[in-house]
């Protein structure tokens, strides 16, 4: 970008932005004459992608701030008015910095367009918005969150009337409307919006209904009521929105929940962790220390918007952090076995997972006679599949993704850590009633289907140069597929962008992938291992997923060693490719 273009964009933004903090934030960079930082803030507009926005907080077009929120919401409002005459939107936010400000900015833009807004009076988990959209019959929903990203981020996630995140054709149409917005968007005074009945503040009436729904997911409510008081759980919301409803749903069943005190209060700076992500061991450090002290049977952690759940369980003299894939397997097994015992499984029962989620979940589903579906990475695709079941007559019974996201009821259409935490507690109680631990059941599943282990390698590639490098990496692999990973020959490459499967041995291609086009490559190795590469949809980074498996019935210790060695060699090859 040349200097004249940069200067023009800076002047425009300073004219359009009305919030003093963000004007001052940019002015400080200008005064410092930090040309690299200025270019990064303006070389592109923060993209309103297929799910919404996510970016670093600050002044500029490539940052998230009140002006970008106003502009994006104006585009959303224009699309809503094209689809319905009496639109309404539910809005919530989590503990991120400026989250309540951004939520109110979005609400008042919608009100100025004559669209009714139901705004939560304080922070709430993301799945509550999905539920509220369906409960109140809203046209759309917005939640201000950057999920598990570092503290400098915030975001803006959009749901449609079915309660799922926006998918085609709505996503592209909203993006088109956002791209047309120029100048200062029309907004409304808050008191006037309240007086006109365009802005309604909500909280308890939705909470009560949501909690009742979560509790209705129980397969053994009597076990929870009678034995819950004997289950000791340590819980950390990681300074996020989970405290309100996780503590309440478990507490109302009499379960003894001990919340990590240093991480209980909402705080967008996330002072005790580098990343507020229950997938990362360091984020669970304080929870593990308290679990050891209290001799808890279960440690639970949720991310800031409480849609992801991580757990740790006793294993010998210490605690084992259970991976997202493993907890998905355990929940799937518990749900399917409970439905079978109740006589509630039939040929219409369906399970949904993403293409990078462990195949062990599929094996478990099929062992109960349940049809399994793969969708692209992103929970919106699971929600869209559920929406499709309403037409086919199939019955959604469970779904999830490797990144610690699970959905146990189709009354919500996004991953939900509240109901997942509730059912994980019940699962733990049930296994204890059978004289087993969570680890015992996982070992039984491995013995039956084979030991599976997965690996995720991520690399941040920030700025304009990083974006270019990411595109070049994937293009290079697409045009010249590797012959092997970790010494294991590649049999097929699945290109989800073209919808083709490439046979490495004879060079033939077959168009056989019936999923939306996506910039993802998946390599199927001769021994059944898989390696998948994709750019993150929410962060400036590229991701490699690897999955290896052992033989069913094999010695577990030997199988673990063999699988870990395969993953180690694959990781070395990926590291070499990434440089």
Taken in order of first residue, the domains within the chain and their CATH numbers are 3-202 (3.40.120.10), 205-449 (3.40.120.10), 452-578 (3.30.310)
pLDDT band at 60 (very low <50, low <70, confident <90, very high): very high
Strands annotated E in 433-520: 452-460, 484-485, 488-495, 500-503, 509-511
pLDDT greater than 90 at residue 320: yes
- The overall average pLDDT reported for the chain is 95
Query: What single DSSP character describes residue 154?
Result: E
User: In this predicted structure, what is the pLDDT of residue 358?
Assistant: 97
pTM for this prediction? 0.94
Give the model confidence (pLDDT) of 527-570 as tens digits. Answer: 999 999 998 766 678 899 999 999 999 999 999 999 999 999 99
pLDDT at position 470: 81
Main-chain phi, psi angles of 283, to 5 degrees: -70, -25
Question: In this model, does residue 240 exceed pLDDT 90?
Answer: yes
pLDDT for 285 beyond 90: yes
Decide if 260 contacts 231 (C-beta within 8 A). Answer: no
CA-based nearest residue to 210, from 163, 259, 280: 163
User: What CA–CA distance (Å, rounded) separates 481 from 9?
Assistant: 41
Q: What is the mean pLDDT of residues 271-295?
A: 97
pLDDT tens for each residue of 451-489 = 999 999 988 777 667 777 888 888 989 999 999 999 999
Examine the residue annotation and report whether 209 is marked as an active-site residue of this protein. Answer: no
Distances (CA, A) of 481 to 24, 383, 501, 522: 49, 32, 12, 10
In angstroms, the Cα distances linking 517 to 1, 80, 507, 521 are 31, 26, 22, 11
Two structure tokens written together for 510: 């077959």
Q: Taking a C-beta distance cutoff of 8 angstroms, is the pair 142, 88 a contact?
A: no
Q: Point out the catalytic residue in the list 100, 147, 218, 529.
A: 147
- The strand ranges marked E within 171-273 are 199-202, 232-236, 256-259
Q: Which residue has the higher pLDDT, 2 or 189?
A: 189
- Residue 149 CB neighbour total at 10 angstroms: 21
Q: What confidence score (pLDDT) does residue 537 get? A: 63
Of the chain, the percentage scoring pLDDT greater than 90 comes to 90
244 and 419 in contact (C-beta within 8 Å)? no
Please report where in the chains the tokens 């405290």 appear, as a residue.
Answer: 243
pLDDT on residue 465: 73
Helix (H, G, I), strand (E, B) or coil at 387: helix
Per-residue pLDDT tens digits for 126-140: 999 999 999 999 999
The pLDDT score that the predictor gives to residue 466 is 74
Torsion of CA 182, 188, 189, 190, to 10 degrees: -110
**Could you tell me the two tokens for 287?**
């929870």
- ∠ CA 559-564-567, nearest 5°, is 130
- 398-427: buried (b, 16+ CB within 10 Å) or exposed (e) per residue? bbbbbbbbbbbbbbbbbbbbbbbbbbbbbb
Residue 126: the pLDDT is: 98
User: What pLDDT, on a 0 to 100 scale, did the predictor assign at position 467?
Assistant: 75
- Convert the pLDDT of each residue in 324-345 to its tens digit: 999 999 999 999 999 999 999 9
């Amino acid at each position: 970008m040349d200097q004249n273009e940069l200067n023009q964009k800076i002047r425009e933004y300073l004219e359009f932005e009305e919030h003093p903090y963000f004007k001052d934030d940019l002015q400080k960079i200008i005064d410092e004459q930090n040309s690299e930082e200025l270019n990064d803030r303006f070389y592109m507009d923060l993209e309103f992608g297929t799910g919404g926005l996510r970016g670093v907080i600050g002044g500029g077009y490539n940052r998230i701030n009140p002006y970008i929120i106003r502009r994006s919401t104006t585009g959303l409002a224009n699309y809503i008015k094209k689809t319905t005459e009496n639109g309404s939107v539910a809005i919530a936010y989590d503990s991120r910095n400026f989250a309540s400000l951004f939520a109110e900015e979005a609400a008042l833009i919608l009100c100025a367009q004559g669209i009714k807004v139901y705004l939560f009076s304080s922070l709430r988990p993301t799945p509550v918005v999905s539920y509220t959209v369906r409960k109140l019959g809203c046209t759309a929903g917005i939640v201000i969150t950057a999920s598990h990203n570092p503290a400098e981020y915030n975001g803006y996630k959009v749901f449609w009337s079915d309660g799922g995140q926006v998918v085609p054709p709505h996503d592209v149409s909203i993006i088109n409307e956002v791209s047309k917005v120029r100048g200062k968007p029309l907004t409304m005074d808050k008191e006037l919006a309240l007086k006109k009945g365009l802005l309604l503040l909500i909280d308890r009436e939705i909470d009560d209904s949501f909690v009742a729904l979560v509790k209705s997911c129980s397969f053994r409510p009597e076990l929870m009521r009678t034995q819950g008081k004997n289950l000791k759980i340590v819980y950390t919301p990681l300074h996020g929105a989970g405290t309100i409803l996780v503590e309440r749903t478990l507490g109302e069943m009499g379960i003894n929940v001990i919340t990590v005190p240093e991480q209980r209060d909402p705080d967008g700076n996330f002072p005790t962790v580098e990343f507020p992500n229950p997938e990362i061991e360091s984020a669970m450090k304080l929870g593990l220390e308290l679990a050891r002290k209290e001799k808890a049977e279960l440690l639970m952690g949720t991310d800031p918007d409480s849609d992801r759940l991580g757990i740790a369980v006793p294993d010998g003299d210490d605690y084992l952090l259970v991976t997202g894939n493993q907890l998905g397997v355990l929940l799937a097994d518990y749900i399917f076995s409970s439905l079978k015992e109740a006589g509630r499984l039939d040929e219409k029962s369906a399970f949904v997972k993403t293409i990078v989620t462990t195949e062990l979940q599929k094996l478990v589903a099929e062992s109960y006679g349940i049809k399994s579906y793969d969708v692209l990475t992103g929970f919106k695709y699971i929600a869209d599949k559920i929406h499709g079941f309403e037409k086919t007559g199939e019955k959604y019974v469970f779904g999830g993704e490797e990144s610690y996201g699970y959905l146990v009821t189709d009354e919500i259409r996004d991953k939900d850590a509240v109901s997942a935490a509730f059912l994980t507690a019940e699962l733990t109680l049930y296994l204890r009633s059978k004289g087993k631990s969570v680890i015992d059941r996982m070992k039984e599943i491995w013995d039956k289907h084979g030991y599976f282990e997965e690996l995720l390698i991520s690399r941040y590639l920030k700025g304009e140069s990083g974006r270019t490098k990411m595109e070049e990496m994937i293009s290079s692999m697409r045009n010249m597929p590797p012959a092997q990973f970790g010494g294991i020959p590649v049999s097929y490459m699945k290109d989800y962008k073209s919808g083709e499967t490439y046979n490495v041995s004879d060079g033939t291609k077959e168009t056989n992938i019936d999923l939306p086009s996506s910039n993802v490559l998946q390599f199927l190795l001769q021994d059944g291992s898989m390696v998948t590469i994709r750019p993150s949809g929410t962060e400036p980074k590229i991701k490699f997923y690897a999955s290896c498996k052992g033989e069913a019935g094999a010695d577990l210790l030997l199988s673990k060693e063999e699988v870990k060695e395969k993953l180690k060699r694959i990781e070395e090859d990926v590291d070499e490719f990434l440089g």
